Amino acid sequence: MNVFLRRRLLGLISVLFGVITIVFLIIHLVPGDPARIMLGEGALPSDVEALRESLGLNRPLIVQYFDFFAKLFQGDLGRSFNTGQPVLSAIIERFPATLILTAASMFFAIIIAVPIGIITAAKRNTVIDNLGMIFSLIGVSMPAFWLGPILVLIFSVKLGILPVSGSGSIKHLVLPSFSLGFALAAIISRMTRASMIEVLDQDYIRTARAIGVSEKIIFLKHALRNAIIPVVTIVGLQFGALLGGVIIIEIIFSWPGIGQLLIPAIMRRDYPLVQGCILFIAVVYIFVNLIVDIIYAYIDPRIKYS
Protein backbone atom coordinates (compact mmCIF):
# COMPACT_ATOMS: atom_id res chain seq x y z
CA MET A 1 0.00 0.00 0.00
CA ASN A 2 2.84 2.41 0.85
CA VAL A 3 4.49 1.82 -2.52
CA PHE A 4 1.15 2.43 -4.26
CA LEU A 5 0.58 5.67 -2.37
CA ARG A 6 4.05 6.94 -3.21
CA ARG A 7 3.49 6.19 -6.90
CA ARG A 8 0.13 7.94 -6.90
CA LEU A 9 1.52 10.98 -5.11
CA LEU A 10 4.30 11.25 -7.68
CA GLY A 11 1.70 10.95 -10.42
CA LEU A 12 -0.38 13.62 -8.67
CA ILE A 13 2.54 16.04 -8.79
CA SER A 14 3.09 15.49 -12.53
CA VAL A 15 -0.63 15.89 -13.28
CA LEU A 16 -0.83 19.12 -11.28
CA PHE A 17 2.26 20.43 -13.05
CA GLY A 18 0.58 19.75 -16.39
CA VAL A 19 -2.71 21.33 -15.31
CA ILE A 20 -0.97 24.47 -14.02
CA THR A 21 1.10 24.83 -17.18
CA ILE A 22 -1.83 24.38 -19.57
CA VAL A 23 -4.11 26.75 -17.64
CA PHE A 24 -1.36 29.36 -17.33
CA LEU A 25 -0.61 29.32 -21.06
CA ILE A 26 -4.24 29.29 -22.17
CA ILE A 27 -5.38 32.17 -19.99
CA HIS A 28 -2.35 34.32 -20.84
CA LEU A 29 -2.56 33.68 -24.59
CA VAL A 30 -6.31 34.29 -24.90
CA PRO A 31 -6.95 37.80 -26.31
CA GLY A 32 -7.81 40.38 -23.68
CA ASP A 33 -5.79 42.71 -21.48
CA PRO A 34 -6.70 42.66 -17.76
CA ALA A 35 -5.45 46.23 -17.33
CA ARG A 36 -7.57 47.48 -20.23
CA ILE A 37 -10.62 45.63 -18.90
CA MET A 38 -10.15 47.08 -15.42
CA LEU A 39 -9.68 50.67 -16.59
CA GLY A 40 -12.16 50.62 -19.47
CA GLU A 41 -11.79 51.33 -23.17
CA GLY A 42 -11.48 55.07 -22.61
CA ALA A 43 -8.39 54.83 -20.40
CA LEU A 44 -5.18 56.56 -21.46
CA PRO A 45 -2.43 54.27 -22.80
CA SER A 46 -0.07 55.58 -20.13
CA ASP A 47 -2.52 54.59 -17.38
CA VAL A 48 -2.98 51.13 -18.88
CA GLU A 49 0.78 50.63 -19.09
CA ALA A 50 1.26 51.80 -15.52
CA LEU A 51 -1.35 49.32 -14.28
CA ARG A 52 0.22 46.52 -16.32
CA GLU A 53 3.54 47.29 -14.69
CA SER A 54 2.05 47.31 -11.19
CA LEU A 55 0.40 43.93 -11.86
CA GLY A 56 3.60 42.48 -13.33
CA LEU A 57 1.99 41.87 -16.73
CA ASN A 58 4.68 43.73 -18.66
CA ARG A 59 7.29 41.08 -17.84
CA PRO A 60 8.09 38.26 -20.29
CA LEU A 61 5.64 35.34 -20.11
CA ILE A 62 8.33 32.85 -19.07
CA VAL A 63 9.31 35.10 -16.15
CA GLN A 64 5.66 35.30 -15.01
CA TYR A 65 5.40 31.50 -15.30
CA PHE A 66 8.39 30.77 -13.06
CA ASP A 67 7.35 33.51 -10.65
CA PHE A 68 3.95 31.86 -10.28
CA PHE A 69 5.59 28.50 -9.50
CA ALA A 70 7.99 30.09 -7.02
CA LYS A 71 5.07 31.60 -5.10
CA LEU A 72 3.07 28.37 -5.39
CA PHE A 73 5.78 26.41 -3.59
CA GLN A 74 5.45 28.92 -0.76
CA GLY A 75 1.68 28.35 -0.59
CA ASP A 76 0.93 31.69 -2.20
CA LEU A 77 -1.58 31.68 -5.07
CA GLY A 78 -1.29 35.44 -5.49
CA ARG A 79 -3.90 38.15 -5.12
CA SER A 80 -6.93 38.89 -7.24
CA PHE A 81 -6.32 41.68 -9.74
CA ASN A 82 -9.74 43.16 -9.10
CA THR A 83 -10.30 42.83 -5.35
CA GLY A 84 -6.76 42.51 -4.02
CA GLN A 85 -7.92 39.61 -1.82
CA PRO A 86 -5.56 36.64 -1.47
CA VAL A 87 -6.72 33.96 -3.91
CA LEU A 88 -6.38 31.12 -1.40
CA SER A 89 -8.55 32.96 1.14
CA ALA A 90 -11.21 33.64 -1.47
CA ILE A 91 -11.29 29.97 -2.52
CA ILE A 92 -11.40 28.65 1.05
CA GLU A 93 -14.26 31.04 1.78
CA ARG A 94 -16.34 29.75 -1.15
CA PHE A 95 -15.34 26.07 -1.23
CA PRO A 96 -17.67 24.84 1.57
CA ALA A 97 -20.72 25.93 -0.45
CA THR A 98 -19.40 24.14 -3.55
CA LEU A 99 -18.64 21.01 -1.51
CA ILE A 100 -22.13 21.00 0.01
CA LEU A 101 -23.77 21.28 -3.41
CA THR A 102 -21.52 18.61 -4.95
CA ALA A 103 -22.06 16.21 -2.04
CA ALA A 104 -25.83 16.76 -2.13
CA SER A 105 -25.88 16.07 -5.88
CA MET A 106 -23.81 12.92 -5.44
CA PHE A 107 -26.01 11.74 -2.55
CA PHE A 108 -29.14 12.31 -4.60
CA ALA A 109 -27.69 10.44 -7.58
CA ILE A 110 -26.58 7.42 -5.51
CA ILE A 111 -29.77 6.93 -3.47
CA ILE A 112 -31.83 7.06 -6.67
CA ALA A 113 -29.53 5.22 -9.07
CA VAL A 114 -28.33 2.20 -7.05
CA PRO A 115 -31.85 0.93 -6.15
CA ILE A 116 -32.97 1.47 -9.76
CA GLY A 117 -29.94 -0.45 -11.01
CA ILE A 118 -30.55 -3.36 -8.62
CA ILE A 119 -34.27 -3.56 -9.39
CA THR A 120 -33.82 -3.40 -13.17
CA ALA A 121 -31.13 -6.09 -12.96
CA ALA A 122 -33.50 -8.32 -10.98
CA LYS A 123 -36.33 -7.60 -13.46
CA ARG A 124 -34.27 -7.66 -16.64
CA ASN A 125 -36.15 -7.73 -19.95
CA THR A 126 -39.40 -6.70 -18.28
CA VAL A 127 -41.47 -3.52 -18.29
CA ILE A 128 -39.63 -2.34 -15.16
CA ASP A 129 -36.30 -2.81 -16.93
CA ASN A 130 -37.56 -0.84 -19.93
CA LEU A 131 -38.70 1.98 -17.66
CA GLY A 132 -35.24 2.05 -16.12
CA MET A 133 -33.75 2.34 -19.61
CA ILE A 134 -36.08 5.26 -20.42
CA PHE A 135 -35.01 6.99 -17.18
CA SER A 136 -31.34 6.59 -18.14
CA LEU A 137 -31.87 7.90 -21.66
CA ILE A 138 -33.75 10.94 -20.38
CA GLY A 139 -31.09 11.60 -17.75
CA VAL A 140 -28.09 11.57 -20.06
CA SER A 141 -29.97 13.58 -22.70
CA MET A 142 -30.69 16.59 -20.48
CA PRO A 143 -27.63 18.70 -19.56
CA ALA A 144 -27.67 20.42 -16.20
CA PHE A 145 -27.50 23.92 -17.68
CA TRP A 146 -30.77 23.18 -19.54
CA LEU A 147 -32.52 21.21 -16.81
CA GLY A 148 -31.84 23.88 -14.16
CA PRO A 149 -33.80 26.71 -15.82
CA ILE A 150 -36.64 24.29 -16.68
CA LEU A 151 -36.93 23.29 -13.02
CA VAL A 152 -36.92 26.95 -12.01
CA LEU A 153 -39.79 27.67 -14.40
CA ILE A 154 -41.82 24.76 -13.04
CA PHE A 155 -41.15 24.74 -9.29
CA SER A 156 -40.31 28.38 -8.67
CA VAL A 157 -42.15 30.49 -11.24
CA LYS A 158 -45.26 28.35 -11.84
CA LEU A 159 -45.73 26.48 -8.57
CA GLY A 160 -43.84 28.82 -6.24
CA ILE A 161 -42.80 26.05 -3.86
CA LEU A 162 -39.01 26.37 -4.14
CA PRO A 163 -36.74 29.42 -4.19
CA VAL A 164 -35.27 30.59 -7.49
CA SER A 165 -31.75 31.18 -6.25
CA GLY A 166 -29.52 31.81 -3.27
CA SER A 167 -28.64 29.66 -0.27
CA GLY A 168 -29.40 29.33 3.42
CA SER A 169 -31.84 26.43 3.66
CA ILE A 170 -32.53 22.92 2.40
CA LYS A 171 -35.07 24.33 -0.04
CA HIS A 172 -32.36 26.36 -1.74
CA LEU A 173 -30.37 23.13 -2.23
CA VAL A 174 -33.11 21.05 -3.87
CA LEU A 175 -33.19 22.45 -7.41
CA PRO A 176 -29.44 22.87 -7.98
CA SER A 177 -28.59 19.43 -6.55
CA PHE A 178 -31.34 17.77 -8.61
CA SER A 179 -30.19 19.56 -11.76
CA LEU A 180 -26.60 18.50 -11.20
CA GLY A 181 -27.24 14.95 -10.01
CA PHE A 182 -29.93 13.81 -12.45
CA ALA A 183 -27.57 12.94 -15.31
CA LEU A 184 -25.18 11.23 -12.89
CA ALA A 185 -28.05 9.15 -11.50
CA ALA A 186 -28.80 7.91 -15.01
CA ILE A 187 -25.18 6.89 -15.56
CA ILE A 188 -24.82 5.15 -12.20
CA SER A 189 -28.11 3.27 -12.60
CA ARG A 190 -27.01 1.77 -15.93
CA MET A 191 -23.59 0.88 -14.54
CA THR A 192 -25.17 -0.75 -11.48
CA ARG A 193 -27.56 -2.74 -13.67
CA ALA A 194 -24.83 -3.96 -16.02
CA SER A 195 -22.51 -4.87 -13.15
CA MET A 196 -25.26 -6.69 -11.24
CA ILE A 197 -26.29 -8.70 -14.29
CA GLU A 198 -22.69 -9.74 -14.88
CA VAL A 199 -22.30 -10.89 -11.28
CA LEU A 200 -25.69 -12.64 -11.18
CA ASP A 201 -24.60 -14.82 -14.10
CA GLN A 202 -21.58 -16.14 -12.18
CA ASP A 203 -21.37 -19.77 -11.05
CA TYR A 204 -21.26 -18.99 -7.33
CA ILE A 205 -24.60 -17.18 -7.59
CA ARG A 206 -26.18 -20.19 -9.28
CA THR A 207 -24.68 -22.39 -6.56
CA ALA A 208 -26.16 -20.17 -3.84
CA ARG A 209 -29.58 -20.43 -5.47
CA ALA A 210 -29.23 -24.19 -5.79
CA ILE A 211 -28.58 -24.65 -2.07
CA GLY A 212 -31.60 -22.54 -1.19
CA VAL A 213 -30.14 -19.14 -0.26
CA SER A 214 -32.85 -16.49 -0.41
CA GLU A 215 -32.86 -14.00 -3.27
CA LYS A 216 -32.59 -11.09 -0.84
CA ILE A 217 -29.34 -12.42 0.65
CA ILE A 218 -28.01 -13.25 -2.83
CA PHE A 219 -28.62 -9.73 -4.08
CA LEU A 220 -27.57 -7.73 -1.05
CA LYS A 221 -24.75 -9.84 0.40
CA HIS A 222 -23.20 -11.78 -2.47
CA ALA A 223 -24.00 -9.95 -5.70
CA LEU A 224 -24.01 -6.29 -4.65
CA ARG A 225 -20.65 -6.45 -2.84
CA ASN A 226 -18.89 -7.68 -5.98
CA ALA A 227 -20.91 -5.56 -8.38
CA ILE A 228 -20.26 -2.32 -6.51
CA ILE A 229 -16.59 -1.99 -7.55
CA PRO A 230 -17.30 -0.64 -11.07
CA VAL A 231 -19.93 1.62 -9.53
CA VAL A 232 -17.37 3.05 -7.10
CA THR A 233 -15.09 3.65 -10.09
CA ILE A 234 -17.71 5.58 -12.02
CA VAL A 235 -18.69 7.56 -8.92
CA GLY A 236 -15.09 8.63 -8.40
CA LEU A 237 -14.63 9.61 -12.03
CA GLN A 238 -17.95 11.41 -12.20
CA PHE A 239 -17.07 13.45 -9.12
CA GLY A 240 -14.78 15.41 -11.40
CA ALA A 241 -17.65 15.92 -13.81
CA LEU A 242 -19.75 17.21 -10.93
CA LEU A 243 -17.03 19.69 -10.00
CA GLY A 244 -17.04 20.92 -13.58
CA GLY A 245 -20.82 21.04 -13.82
CA VAL A 246 -21.29 22.71 -10.46
CA ILE A 247 -19.59 25.85 -11.78
CA ILE A 248 -22.43 26.47 -14.25
CA ILE A 249 -25.14 25.44 -11.78
CA GLU A 250 -23.81 27.91 -9.22
CA ILE A 251 -24.15 30.70 -11.75
CA ILE A 252 -27.70 29.65 -12.71
CA PHE A 253 -28.92 29.43 -9.11
CA SER A 254 -26.66 32.17 -7.64
CA TRP A 255 -25.14 29.59 -5.32
CA PRO A 256 -22.22 31.21 -3.42
CA GLY A 257 -19.52 28.73 -4.41
CA ILE A 258 -16.33 28.69 -6.45
CA GLY A 259 -18.31 29.15 -9.66
CA GLN A 260 -19.22 32.66 -8.51
CA LEU A 261 -15.47 33.34 -8.37
CA LEU A 262 -14.30 31.53 -11.48
CA ILE A 263 -16.71 32.69 -14.19
CA PRO A 264 -16.45 36.44 -13.43
CA ALA A 265 -12.66 36.02 -13.08
CA ILE A 266 -12.49 34.50 -16.57
CA MET A 267 -14.50 37.38 -17.99
CA ARG A 268 -12.23 39.93 -16.31
CA ARG A 269 -9.01 38.04 -17.14
CA ASP A 270 -8.19 37.85 -13.44
CA TYR A 271 -5.24 35.51 -13.97
CA PRO A 272 -4.36 34.66 -10.34
CA LEU A 273 -7.97 33.91 -9.41
CA VAL A 274 -8.61 31.73 -12.47
CA GLN A 275 -5.37 29.79 -11.96
CA GLY A 276 -6.09 29.32 -8.27
CA CYS A 277 -9.67 28.10 -8.77
CA ILE A 278 -8.74 25.59 -11.47
CA LEU A 279 -5.73 24.35 -9.51
CA PHE A 280 -7.89 23.86 -6.42
CA ILE A 281 -10.52 21.92 -8.39
CA ALA A 282 -7.80 19.74 -9.93
CA VAL A 283 -6.33 18.95 -6.50
CA VAL A 284 -9.73 17.97 -5.10
CA TYR A 285 -10.49 15.79 -8.14
CA ILE A 286 -7.16 13.94 -7.97
CA PHE A 287 -7.50 13.48 -4.21
CA VAL A 288 -10.98 11.99 -4.59
CA ASN A 289 -9.70 9.50 -7.18
CA LEU A 290 -6.89 8.53 -4.81
CA ILE A 291 -9.45 7.86 -2.08
CA VAL A 292 -11.50 5.74 -4.52
CA ASP A 293 -8.46 3.60 -5.33
CA ILE A 294 -7.82 3.00 -1.63
CA ILE A 295 -11.46 2.07 -1.03
CA TYR A 296 -11.09 -0.74 -3.59
CA ALA A 297 -8.88 -2.70 -1.20
CA TYR A 298 -11.57 -2.63 1.47
CA ILE A 299 -14.37 -3.58 -0.88
CA ASP A 300 -12.52 -6.44 -2.58
CA PRO A 301 -9.68 -8.11 -0.63
CA ARG A 302 -8.46 -9.72 -3.87
CA ILE A 303 -7.12 -6.33 -4.97
CA LYS A 304 -3.50 -5.88 -3.90
CA TYR A 305 -1.34 -2.79 -4.25
CA SER A 306 2.34 -3.38 -4.85
pLDDT of residue 106 exceeding 70: yes
Please report the pLDDT score of residue 305 as a whole number: 53
Residues 6+ apart with CB under 8 A from 11: none
94-299 CATH fold: MetI-like fold (1.10.3720)
pLDDT of residue 83 exceeding 80: yes
Please report the pLDDT score of residue 144 as a whole number: 83
CATH 1.10.3720.10 residue spans of the chain: 94-299
pLDDT of residue 59 exceeding 60: yes
Computed over every residue of the chain, the mean pLDDT equals: 83
More confident: 55 or 296: 55
Give the pLDDT band of residue 223 (cuts 50, 70, 90): confident
Secondary structure of residue 255 in the 3-state scheme = coil
Please report the pLDDT score of residue 303 as a whole number: 58
Secondary structure of residue 44 in the 3-state scheme = coil
CA distance 120 to 78: 51
Q: Which stretches within the chain are classed as H helix?
A: 2-29, 34-39, 45-55, 61-72, 87-122, 127-141, 144-151, 170-200, 203-210, 215-217, 224-252, 259-268, 271-299
How many other CB atoms are found less than 10 A from the CB of residue 44?
9
Please report the pLDDT score of residue 50 as a whole number: 87
More confident: 216 or 1: 216
Write the burial class of residue 18 (CB in 10 Å: 0-12 exposed, 13-18 middle, 19+ buried): exposed
Give the pLDDT band of residue 176 (cuts 50, 70, 90): very high
Angle, helices 144-151 vs 224-252, to 10°: value is 70
Residues 6+ apart with CB under 8 A from 141: none
More confident: 38 or 130: 130
Taking residues 14-18, report their average pLDDT.
82
CA 5 to chain centre: 23
State the pTM of this model: 0.81
- Sign of the dihedral defined by the CA atoms of residues 259, 261, 264, 266, in that order: negative
Q: What is the DSSP string of 103-124?
A: HHHHHHHHHHHHHHHHHHHHTT
Write the burial class of residue 133 (CB in 10 Å: 0-12 exposed, 13-18 middle, 19+ buried): middle
- H helix or E strand, kind and range, residue 60: none
Q: What pLDDT digit, counting tens, does each position of 260-280 carry?
A: 888 888 888 888 898 888 888
